[in-house]
Amino acid sequence: MEIKQVEFVISNTNIAKCPQDKKPEYAFIGRSNVGKSSLINCLANNKKLAHTSSKPGKTQLINHFIVDETWYLVDLPGYGYAKVSKNSRQKFQKMIEDYILERPNLINLFVLIDSRIPPQQIDLEFMEWLGENQVPFSMVYTKIDKLKSNQLNKNLHTYHKKMLESWAEIPVYFATSAETGAGKTEILSYIAEINR
């Protein structure tokens, strides 16, 4: 599956201002610099899409894009900008929490994880919070082009072992690169399958 058309719809800080129709939506979130904008642009075949909406001043907004007039792709603000507090969950903006917990359209959240680095507390805590709140999510490992395949496998293994300390099973995950397009088909097929 390829995306044919993507259009920016709205940026805002308030879930009440998100589009009012009932189209399914899929949101992308992760620590700042994880490669979220690059991945969104890669999925959409549009090098400027996510950057357009994440100009300074727009980075803390919920950005809706309509894809092929069928579903919304939602670019959520990156977390973990500031110093990491003891309880990163508390720091997590209320806006994002409201969106995630109260947006009926949200079908799946893609949580982006940098494949090159060890499991980060802020990501693990965030996913635990999603689990506690029964929010459907998948993991998206980014920047895999920067790793040799044995190193990637090793890192995924480490991550999954860490996850299994608190999870009964590993969530659905994707290994991606905005550079090579790895994982793109898998993510788009996953969305298409759910939308069927």
Interface contacts to ligand GDP, rule CB under 6 A: 30, 32-38, 78, 142-143, 145-146, 177-179
15 versus 76: smaller Cβ distance to ligand GDP: 76
DSSP state of 120: P
- Closest approach, Cβ 97 to ligand GDP, in A, equals 19
111 versus 178: smaller Cβ distance to ligand GDP: 178
- Closest approach, Cβ 165 to ligand GDP, in A, equals 26
167 versus 186: smaller Cβ distance to ligand GDP: 186
Q: Which of 117, 131, 129, 112 is nearest to 173 (CA)?
A: 112
- Closest approach, Cβ 43 to ligand GDP, in A, equals 12
Buried b (16+ CB within 10 A) or exposed e, 53-77: bbeeeebebbbbbbbeeebbbbbbb
The span from the CA of 150 to the CA of 161, in Å, is 16
State the residue for tokens 């500031």.
Answer: 82
18 versus 35: smaller Cβ distance to ligand GDP: 35
- Closest approach, Cβ 125 to ligand GDP, in A, equals 18
**Crossing angle between the packed helical segments 184-195 and 36-44, to the nearest 10 degrees:** 70
